[in-house]
């Protein structure tokens, strides 16, 4: 999922995009256009190289060469796309910076816009670099004693359940798995992930019932998802999907996502009225929303 912003260059206002009411999602990452108070970016940001060095010019995903612009002591590489849009758009993801500009906008105007947006650009590039580094953290070592987060707390996996069944002890924060100590890591992973998903199915259903009653709405059905970019979604026909990996978070975070999606049954948008609806059943939504913004999926264990 990309971070994106746009800069209007047309003398006439850009028309608002039509709202697609078929499905509204709660993204995994922070909303596009979010700002940051991070310190001045360092030259190590992805897509930027110290002036004077001559690294190979990187390629865009389609294989075309990237353009470059020297800004201060850094050289910024970016992919430029032309379109019929009426403003200059900036999008940043794991591949770097992509700029989409109207066909009539000159390269000089584009470079001026880049310079004006340089703080936002370098801040977002550094954020993406941090996510890449976090992905390099060790994965869960699937063996006796492995730990996985469950409702905000680490749960220790213990192999060799004496009763031959999978059993969870909330008091000891331990999950007994009926597998031998020499079990294959993939077997352990499958059993633990299966338990986490079954817990998610049970618990999410309970919380949906609680908040649907508070809001006075009825949802048609709900299911778990494994989406890479969404915590949840709600379609206009009353079908709700919740990312099973929310089970790693404390109950308050789960409740926020549940309240968020149910509120879409009243308001299929993210207008002020929508957020008032969320607040009416979950007053602490701002704190929970911030927690999700600061915990992209890379911070969750790699299962």
Pairing of strands 153-159, 67-71: unpaired
Q: Whose structure tokens read 């940043």? A: 92
pTM for this model (two decimals) = 0.59
Please spell the DSSP secondary structure of 9-27, one letter per residue: -SSSPPPPPPP-TTEEEEE
Across the chain, mean pLDDT equals 78
Provide the sign of the torsion angle of the four alpha carbons 286, 126, 91, 131, taken in this order.
negative
Confidence of residue 18 (pLDDT cuts 50, 70, 90): very low
Phi, psi (rounded to 5 degrees) for 87:
-145, 165
pLDDT, position 93: 74
Contacts of 165 (CB under 8 A, 6+ apart): 178
- C-alpha distances (whole Å) from 255 to each of 36, 73, 258 are 27, 46, 5
Residue pair 116/96 in contact (Cβ under 8 Å)? The answer is: no
Does pLDDT of 244 surpass 90? yes
Q: For residue 175, which of 194, 155, 160, 198 has the smallest C-alpha distance?
A: 155
Domain coordinates of the chain in residue numbers? 32-135, 147-299
What CATH number was assigned to the domain covering residues 147-299? 3.30.2010.10
CA 289, CA 35: separation in Å to the nearest integer?
Answer: 15
Tokens of 12: 């006439």
pLDDT, position 302: 52
CA 250, CA 206: separation in Å to the nearest integer?
Answer: 15
* 170-207 residue pLDDT tens: 989 999 999 999 999 999 999 999 999 999 999 999 99
Question: Average pLDDT for residues 41-46, to the nearest whole number?
Answer: 42
pLDDT, position 303: 52
Contacts of 141 (CB under 8 A, 6+ apart): 185
Confidence of residue 73 (pLDDT cuts 50, 70, 90): confident
Q: For residue 142, which of 164, 158, 120, 166 has the smallest C-alpha distance?
A: 158
* Cα 288–chain centre separation: 14
Question: Average pLDDT for residues 255-275, to the nearest whole number?
Answer: 94
Please spell the DSSP secondary structure of 140-183, one letter per residue: P--STT-EEEETTEEEEEEES-TTSS-EEETTTTEEEESS-TT-
């Amino acid at each position: 999922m990309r971070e994106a912003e746009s800069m209007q260059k047309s003398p006439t206002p850009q028309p608002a995009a039509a709202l697609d009411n078929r499905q509204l999602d709660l993204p995994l990452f922070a909303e596009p256009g979010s700002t940051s108070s991070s310190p001045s970016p360092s030259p190590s940001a992805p897509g930027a190289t110290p002036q004077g060095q001559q690294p190979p010019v990187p390629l865009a995903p389609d294989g075309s060469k990237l353009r470059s612009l020297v800004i201060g002591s850094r050289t910024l590489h970016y992919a430029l796309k032309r379109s019929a849009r009426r403003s200059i758009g900036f999008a940043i993801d794991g591949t770097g910076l992509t700029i989409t500009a109207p066909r009539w906008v000159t390269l000089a105007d584009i470079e001026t816009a880049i310079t004006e947006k340089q703080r936002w650009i370098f801040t977002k590039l550094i954020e993406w670099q941090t996510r890449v580094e976090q992905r390099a953290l060790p994965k869960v070592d699937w063996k006796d004693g492995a730990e996985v987060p469950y409702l905000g707390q680490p749960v220790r996996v213990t192999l060799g359940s004496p009763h031959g069944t999978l059993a969870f002890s909330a008091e000891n924060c331990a999950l007994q798995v009926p597998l031998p100590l020499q079990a294959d890591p993939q077997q352990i992973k499958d059993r633990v992930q299966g338990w986490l998903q079954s817990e998610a199915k049970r618990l999410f259903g309970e919380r949906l019932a609680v908040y649907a009653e508070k809001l006075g709405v009825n949802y048609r059905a709900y299911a778990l998802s494994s989406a890479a970019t969404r915590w949840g979604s709600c379609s206009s026909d009353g079908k709700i999907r919740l990312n099973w990996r929310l089970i790693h978070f404390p109950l308050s975070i789960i409740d926020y996502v549940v309240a968020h999606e149910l509120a879409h049954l009243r308001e299929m948008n993210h207008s002020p009225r929508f957020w008032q609806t969320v607040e009416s059943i979950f007053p602490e939504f701002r704190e929970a929303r911030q927690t999700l913004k600061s915990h992209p999926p890379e911070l969750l264990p790699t299962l």
